[in-house]
Amino acid sequence: MESNVPRRPLTCAIVDDEHLALKVLAEYCGQVPFLELKGQFQDALTAVAFLQDNPVDVVFLDIQMPRLTGLQLAQLLPQPGPRIIFTTAHPDYAVQSYELPALDYLLKPISFERFVQAAHRARAALGHSATASATVAPEALAEAPAGEALFVRHDNRLRRVLVADIYYVEGQKEYLMLYTSGGKILTLQSFRKLEELLPPGRFARIHKSYLISLRHLEYVERTRVQVHGTALPIGETYRDAFMELLRYHGKM
């Protein structure tokens, strides 16, 4: 049954040493009804001091900053800390950011559409705590509504793929191989772009070459998982974030 208790806004902060980037993100926040901007900072140390005394739900965090990088700042925040959405002009930092439990990774220049998508991802991830006295069953976060689908380019045409039918995805250079209940689908796509299309909270990156569906996850060991009968490795740099994701969704 739907709760009649309205969701409170998601509180957020922005940390970016570039004035223009800070201004753009602040304007974006002002256009999203469920976001409440609590602070914006060009200095990382000032931001840390504020966030330690003023907890927020989400931090939009630049990575390359003087004195203290966004990656270092994220590790200084109190635990349990806010959800982190990294913002940067440097795609090389993507792998490092995924070593931390980052919710999303926005590459500058950030479009409003992409910002809103990340905001909705944060809202979905924090849905259990952003609703007064409402609870969400952990298993519901890993289930896809019937008929929910995405379109991927395959054999020079767009092919409709049900989200619930995807077991896992394997990276093969510039291609991705989707393993689904209907067979394998090879598409020219990046992991980052695919993750933007997939609904939040239902898939997890476990390795530089693998992304898995939590719905079809059968068991987890220290160095591998089994998804729909297939054993897949857990990458060292992805292990902690993956385990935290499982704990967050009540699967551990």
Phi and psi angles of residue 139, each rounded to the nearest 5 degrees, phi first:
-65, -25
So what's the pLDDT on residue 98? 44
CATH numbers and ranges of domains, the chain: 10-125 (3.40.50.2300), 140-248 (2.40.50.1020)
So what's the pLDDT on residue 251? 55
**Cβ atoms of 97 and 73 closer than 8 Å:** no
So what's the pLDDT on residue 19? 93
pTM above 0.95, yes or no: no
So what's the pLDDT on residue 57? 94
So what's the pLDDT on residue 224? 94
So what's the pLDDT on residue 36? 96
So what's the pLDDT on residue 92? 53
Alpha-carbon dihedral sign for residues 201, 207, 210, 214:
negative
In the chain (252 residues long), the average pLDDT of successive 10-residue segments reads 58 96 94 94 94 94 87 82 85 49 81 88 70 33 53 80 93 91 91 81 90 93 93 92 74 54
Whose tokens are 């997890």? That residue is: 204
So what's the pLDDT on residue 240? 86
